[in-house]
Chains A and B, each alone.
Chain A
Amino acid sequence: MGKEYKTITDIAGPLVFLEKTEPVAYGELVTITLPDGTVRRGQVLDTAKDFVVVQVFEGTRGLDKSCSVRFTGDVVKLNCSKDMLGRILSGSGDPIDGGPKIVPEERREIVGAAINPYARQYPREFIQTGISAIDGMNTLVRGQKLPIFSGSGLPHNDIALQIARQAKVRGTEEEFAIVFAAMGITYEEAHQFMKEFERTGALERAVVFLNLASDPAIERLITPRMALTAAEFLAYEYDYHILVILTDMTNYCEALREISAAREEVPGRRGYPGYMYTDLATIYERAGRIRGRKGTITQMPILTMPGDDITHPIPDLTGYITEGQIVLSRELHAKGIYPPIDVLPSLSRLMKEGIGKGMTREDHKEWNDQMYAAYAEGVDLRGLVAIVGEEALSERDRRYLKFADEFERRFVNQGKYEDRDIEYTLDLGWELLAILPEEELTKIRREYIEKYHPKYRKKKAAEGEAS
């Protein structure tokens, strides 16, 4: 079981320094027993022949030099079992729902090895979320990592819940199981998630990891890794399609900065450690599909951009790793639009392979280009209207303005419980495109215009009735 040491020399923030130990492995799991008998866990961050540095997950409050430290000879692992489904666990993986202990089928290291890029399969299966601004404009596919970039006070939780509720791959009965990891969110927010999971019955097919705002910050460093280990186990051993929701990654990054500062490392931008990109990548890159395995892992991390600043290191580094981003806008939120998704800075890098004939609909790609261009043009014109007034605009410009308004009010805006299928989304887009003069639809081939444009559809319908 390993020897006990009482050789703590320093305690700084979340770090404990010891001297003169047996050789201790890098990354080893450590238990620290306080004089009152409570036990904390930690991990070796730096190890040498004459000293060891340990980061304590549950915080160092109450620790003193007399605490005894035991090195377990093991790295941090999660007890994995199919019975995790339906359970609520702490941020370090212990049950907190009053239920029995999880009997492990397997104990897995929470630091997952990197997927060999040669073993990956490119994600292609369209996930219908029922949200037009996502399905139509920034399509999600199975095995993608698509974060929501939000701001404080914006309804990112509602959107995540709506996606968790509605997400499906059409034409299959396979459902998503959900792995939900909360890092440093408030009790109230957590409660909202739990209540909703229970109400819709989603909890039965969910594993929940909760690290609340009141829980130790350092625990947040292992919570997402716990969650992804659970997801990998369920996906690769039991063929589940897993949707992983990680919220709020900003809190995770703050914890990372705290550790880095305590270790007196050379800081990168805004005090965040220089290795934050790599560290985040070891979380986000665990999404994907593997050739020859049925299960998949789709990730939807949520982060709040400090000061709504998309260039802040947290959203910035995230955007460089993830396959796109869904960006929420305070302005749209203030206009009363839900979900307040600003499609212009949003992006889904994997959509090109997941849309089109046989997946969504043949016109989707060109429709998407046209919708983007038209909305961008309309938004630009708003700037001009503010200066010269709407009267000074040409008829064409006025139609673009109208398009942009309708786009927000009818297309982006929808109910929290409104589950739109992709055909509805695309047809709704066509109705909006019909606002524009037809010769402006240069990005869509004639064939599709004649097939899907409301003008021709009506004509066809009328002809049909006549005959």
Chain B
Amino acid sequence: MEVKTAGSVGEIYRISGPLVVAEGLKAKMYDVCKVGEDGLMGEVVGIRGDKILIQVYEDTSGVRPGEKVVNTGMPLSVELGPGMLGTIYDGIQRPLPALKEVSGDFIGRGIEAPGLDRKKKWAFKPTVKKGDKVKGGDIIGVVKETELIAEHRILVPPNVSGTITEIYEGDFTVEDTIAVLDNGMELKLYHKWPVRIPRPYAEKLPPEIPLITGQRILDTFFPVAKGGTAAIPGPFGSGKTVTQHQLAKWADAQIIVYIGCGERGNEMTEVLEEFPELKDPRTGRPLMERTVLIANTSNMPVAAREASVYTGITIAEYFRDMGYDVAIQADSTSRWAEAMREISGRLEEMPGEEGYPAYLASRLAEFYERAGRVKTLSGHIGSVTVVGAVSPPGGDFSEPVTQNTLRIVKVFWALDAKLAARRHFPAINWLQSYSLYAEVLRSWFEQNVAPDWGELRNWAMEVLQEEANLQEIVQLVGSDALPDAQRILLEVARMIREVFLIQYAYDPVDTYCPLEKQYDMLKGIKMINDWMFKALEMGKTVEEIINVPGKEKFARAKFEENYKPVMEEALEEIRKNLLGE
């Protein structure tokens, strides 16, 4: 029989930073406890004899041995219901605006703030009626949450089923009963779910649709599928966060969950200030209306940082269960791993590589495995795409977090400090990066964008590869010593790099590049390439060819909203200059 742990009271025996040891407490692993007189929130992470080890999500300064510990008997859970979009939470789903109201500009301790607003009323429209049978995960009605997400689908909690005996339409708070089942169960607009347990689904589906990001190097060269996993490792200053922000802004998911895990406070502020101003390119609504932010900055308590990625992915799964495509950005998973390391160190566990706990690899794998494109319990199709930033010490990809991540994820966007130093952004190294979805998604691109999409991409990759080989020779003898054909190839490679791959995140137009434009740009470069080689055959000198007028105009077309006339004009000029009339 299960031991009842709720309400059990014990005493603090020891305090060491975020780790508190209690005695005389009845507890299961991962029970949430209230620690000390201030009622700091903590979670049971170990049981040793009569001692219970608790990681505390708040600063423990001033807490003394002998103070009481109360077990709630519940695992760490989030509240899932309307009101999450546009909100910024800390790592354990406390809304930061609510914390500010209670404790001012600095975050105080022992504050309880529910994840969902208790007062706000939502207009609920049932989609099932009295007498209908419902099971876990079924949709019983909708609430208009924001203009962008007009249908927040209200779900039956996954572990509940029965026949509807009552269902109401009207304005309700999240705590009001909106339906009653024949077993007496009352359904509300929200339910709770423990963050460490993946939400159930009917079946996993193969990922075969790309997540369109509007970023040329990502979509064309290294695409990620909806429901896929990707990692962006890179040293500091190489643009991890900017890339993550770009994904949060422009990825064609319906819902974005952005987890700022142990990163800079100002970066979250930037999102908070910028997103309400930015418009979704597809609907014209503020991007904030589809975004849930989770901010646990580097100076906020380390245990809550450990929890923040679980909070984020659980919220993402909830929207997936409504049948939405969700993209989640975790910046940075290294800080999460470090939080695990810190807690593990305090638990005096035997360390694995570089002091990280031995279970680092399995925790990372479990987390990324919660991504996927699924058929939900209600028969809809939804997906969670996970993009994790990794911050390897010294930019060295051989460290444990990067290595264990790469073993799991299917897309690797390798950031390169050298590219960043010369302000080539996004500083994604095209030779090191890969996408295992590229082949699977090729047919989608060929059906939906252009039939020669895959061919064009492979051509561009080959040119860049060849350029890398030639660079080694150029380093020794200079480019003038190369044969003409190779000098033209170098020029074409330069155009691919500087015109196509460099993309200005802060330019109002270039920040988002639609697929058709991506294709046109690359196709344009391919045409210039073909004309250049033809001109060489016709006897033009290589200097004339590689310095052909019109290139600059072609390069600037990417800054034009209506790029086609500019691009066509530039191409025509280049063609005339190379081949004559």
Which residues of A are interface residues toward B (Cβ below 8 A)? 23-28, 45-49, 75, 109, 111-123, 143, 265-269, 274-275, 277-278, 281-282, 285-286, 288, 290-291, 293, 310-313, 316-317, 319-321, 323-325, 344-345, 347, 349-350, 352, 365, 369, 372-373, 376-377, 383-384, 387-388, 392-394, 439, 442
Chain A-chain B contacts (Cβ-Cβ < 8 Å), number: 208
Residues of A within 8 A of B103 (CB): 116
Partner of A113, one of B96, B108, B477: B108
Given A27-B62, A75-B62, are A387 and B476 also a contact pair (CB < 8 Å)?
Answer: yes
Given A23-B64, A278-B302, are A320 and B345 also a contact pair (CB < 8 Å)?
Answer: no
Given A26-B60, A115-B265, are A324 and B478 also a contact pair (CB < 8 Å)?
Answer: no
Task: Flag if B422 contacts A311 (CB, 8 Å).
Answer: no
Partner of B106, one of A75, A115, A291, A393: A115
Residues of A within 8 A of B107 (CB): 113-116
Residues of A within 8 A of B475 (CB): 383-384, 387
Given contacts A122-B270, A278-B339, 13 further A-B pairs with CB under 8 A are: A23-B67, A25-B61, A48-B21, A117-B96, A268-B355, A269-B393, A275-B302, A275-B345, A277-B262, A278-B302, A285-B264, A323-B266, A376-B423
Task: Flag if A274 contacts B342 (CB, 8 Å).
Answer: yes
Task: Flag if B16 contacts A46 (CB, 8 Å).
Answer: yes
Residues of A within 8 A of B345 (CB): 265-266, 274-275
- Give 1 or 0 for each of B490-519: 1 = CB within 8 Å of chain A CB: 000000001000000010000000000000
Given A25-B62, A281-B299, are A118 and B97 also a contact pair (CB < 8 Å)?
Answer: yes
Q: Within the assembled complex, what's the spacing in Å between the Cα atoms of A323 and B242?
A: 13
Interface residue B421 (Cβ < 8 Å from any Cβ of A): yes
Nearest-neighbour CB distance to chain A for B566, whole angstroms, equals: 13
Which residues of B are interface residues toward A (Cβ below 8 A)? 13-17, 21, 59-67, 88, 96-97, 99-100, 103-108, 235-237, 260, 262, 264-266, 268-270, 272-273, 295, 297-300, 302, 335, 338-339, 341-342, 345, 351, 354-355, 391, 393-396, 417, 420-423, 474-478, 480, 498, 506, 552, 555
Partner of B268, one of A28, A111, A117, A290: A117
Partner of B269, one of A49, A117, A377: A117
Task: Flag if A392 contacts B480 (CB, 8 Å).
Answer: yes
Q: Within the assembled complex, what's the spacing in Å between the Cα atoms of A290 and B15?
A: 32
Given A113-B106, A278-B338, are A319 and B237 also a contact pair (CB < 8 Å)?
Answer: yes
Task: Flag if B299 contacts A282 (CB, 8 Å).
Answer: yes
Task: Flag if B265 contacts A288 (CB, 8 Å).
Answer: yes
Task: Flag if A117 contacts B297 (CB, 8 Å).
Answer: yes
Partner of A123, one of B65, B266, B474: B266
Residues of A within 8 A of B104 (CB): 116, 119
Q: Within the assembled complex, what's the spacing in Å between the Cα atoms of A255 and B100?
A: 34
Task: Name which residue of chain B comes closest to A393, CB basis.
Answer: B478
Task: Flag if A268 contacts B266 (CB, 8 Å).
Answer: no
Given A123-B266, A269-B354, are A293 and B480 also a contact pair (CB < 8 Å)?
Answer: no
Cross-chain pairs A/B with CB under 8 angstroms, 20 sampled:
A26-B61, A47-B15, A114-B300, A115-B106, A117-B96, A117-B295, A120-B268, A122-B270, A268-B341, A281-B298, A288-B265, A310-B394, A311-B393, A313-B394, A320-B236, A321-B264, A376-B423, A392-B478, A394-B480, A442-B555
Most buried by B among A281, A321, A323, A376: A281
Q: Within the assembled complex, what's the spacing in Å between the Cα atoms of A136 and B265?
A: 25
Residues of A within 8 A of B302 (CB): 275, 278
Task: Name which residue of chain A comes closest to B341, CB basis.
Answer: A274
Task: Flag if A112 contacts B106 (CB, 8 Å).
Answer: yes
Task: Flag if A319 contacts B421 (CB, 8 Å).
Answer: no
Task: Flag if B506 contacts A118 (CB, 8 Å).
Answer: no
Given A122-B269, A324-B237, A387-B476, are A117 and B88 also a contact pair (CB < 8 Å)?
Answer: yes
Given A123-B266, A281-B299, A311-B396, are A26 and B63 also a contact pair (CB < 8 Å)?
Answer: yes
Partner of A344, one of B391, B421, B506: B421
Partner of B297, one of A114, A317, A439: A114
Given A114-B297, A288-B265, A316-B236, are A372 and B422 also a contact pair (CB < 8 Å)?
Answer: yes
Q: Within the assembled complex, what's the spacing in Å between the Cα atoms of A120 and B268?
A: 9
Q: Within the assembled complex, what's the spacing in Å between the Cα atoms of A187 and B287?
A: 55
Q: Within the assembled complex, what's the spacing in Å between the Cα atoms of A350 and B97?
A: 24
Q: Within the assembled complex, what's the spacing in Å between the Cα atoms of A288 and B264?
A: 11
Task: Name which residue of chain B comes closest to A380, CB basis.
Answer: B422
Residues of A within 8 A of B474 (CB): 384
Partner of B62, one of A26, A313, A321: A26
Most buried by A among B297, B354, B417, B498: B297
Nearest-neighbour CB distance to chain B for A86, whole angstroms, equals: 27
Nearest-neighbour CB distance to chain A for B14, whole angstroms, equals: 4
Q: Within the assembled complex, what's the spacing in Å between the Cα atoms of A146 and B407?
A: 35
Nearest-neighbour CB distance to chain A for B39, whole angstroms, equals: 16
Given A47-B15, A49-B14, are A116 and B342 also a contact pair (CB < 8 Å)?
Answer: no
Task: Flag if A26 contacts B298 (CB, 8 Å).
Answer: no
Nearest-neighbour CB distance to chain B for A438, whole angstroms, equals: 11
Residues of A within 8 A of B355 (CB): 266-268, 274
Partner of B338, one of A47, A277, A352: A277
Residues of B within 8 A of A266 (CB): 345, 351, 355
Residues of B within 8 A of A119 (CB): 100, 104-106
Residues of A within 8 A of B477 (CB): 388
Q: Within the assembled complex, what's the spacing in Å between the Cα atoms of A6 and B262?
A: 41
Task: Flag if B552 contacts A442 (CB, 8 Å).
Answer: yes
Task: Flag if A268 contacts B354 (CB, 8 Å).
Answer: yes
Q: Within the assembled complex, what's the spacing in Å between the Cα atoms of A328 and B317?
A: 47
Q: Within the assembled complex, what's the spacing in Å between the Cα atoms of A28 and B60?
A: 11
Task: Flag if B552 contacts A120 (CB, 8 Å).
Answer: no
Task: Flag if A47 contacts B64 (CB, 8 Å).
Answer: yes
Residues of B within 8 A of A49 (CB): 13-14, 65-66
Task: Name which residue of chain A comes closest to B260, CB basis.
Answer: A117
Task: Flag if A288 contacts B61 (CB, 8 Å).
Answer: no
Residues of B within 8 A of A112 (CB): 106
Nearest-neighbour CB distance to chain A for B148, whole angstroms, equals: 21
Q: Within the assembled complex, what's the spacing in Å between the Cα atoms of A121 and B270?
A: 8
Nearest-neighbour CB distance to chain B for A363, whole angstroms, equals: 15
Residues of A within 8 A of B237 (CB): 319, 324-325, 345, 347, 349
Nearest-neighbour CB distance to chain B for A381, whole angstroms, equals: 10
Nearest-neighbour CB distance to chain B for A107, whole angstroms, equals: 15
Residues of B within 8 A of A28 (CB): 62
> Which 3 residue pairs of A and B lie closest in terms of their CB atoms, listed nearest first?
A311-B394, A281-B298, A48-B14
Task: Name which residue of chain B comes closest to A321, CB basis.
Answer: B298
Task: Flag if B393 contacts A316 (CB, 8 Å).
Answer: yes
Q: Within the assembled complex, what's the spacing in Å between the Cα atoms of A265 and B344?
A: 11
Q: Within the assembled complex, what's the spacing in Å between the Cα atoms of A24 and B60?
A: 12
Q: Within the assembled complex, what's the spacing in Å between the Cα atoms of A384 and B481?
A: 13
Q: Within the assembled complex, what's the spacing in Å between the Cα atoms of A281 and B339?
A: 13
Nearest-neighbour CB distance to chain B for A146, whole angstroms, equals: 12
Nearest-neighbour CB distance to chain A for B275, whole angstroms, equals: 12
Nearest-neighbour CB distance to chain B for A67, whole angstroms, equals: 22
Task: Name which residue of chain B comes closest to A377, CB basis.
Answer: B422
Residues of B within 8 A of A323 (CB): 264, 266
Nearest-neighbour CB distance to chain A for B17, whole angstroms, equals: 8
Q: Within the assembled complex, what's the spacing in Å between the Cα atoms of A291 and B273?
A: 12
Task: Name which residue of chain B comes closest to A263, CB basis.
Answer: B16
Most buried by A among B63, B264, B480: B264
Task: Flag if B66 contacts A319 (CB, 8 Å).
Answer: no
Task: Flag if B14 contacts A121 (CB, 8 Å).
Answer: no
Task: Flag if A277 contacts B298 (CB, 8 Å).
Answer: yes
Q: Within the assembled complex, what's the spacing in Å between the Cα atoms of A28 and B13?
A: 16
Nearest-neighbour CB distance to chain B for A34, whole angstroms, equals: 27
Task: Name which residue of chain A comes closest to B60, CB basis.
Answer: A26
Residues of A within 8 A of B62 (CB): 25-28, 75
Q: Within the assembled complex, what's the spacing in Å between the Cα atoms of A277 and B297?
A: 12
Residues of B within 8 A of A310 (CB): 394
Task: Name which residue of chain A comes closest to B298, CB basis.
Answer: A281
Task: Flag if A275 contacts B342 (CB, 8 Å).
Answer: yes
Q: Within the assembled complex, what's the spacing in Å between the Cα atoms of A116 and B302?
A: 15
Residues of B within 8 A of A117 (CB): 88, 96, 260, 265, 268-269, 272, 295, 297
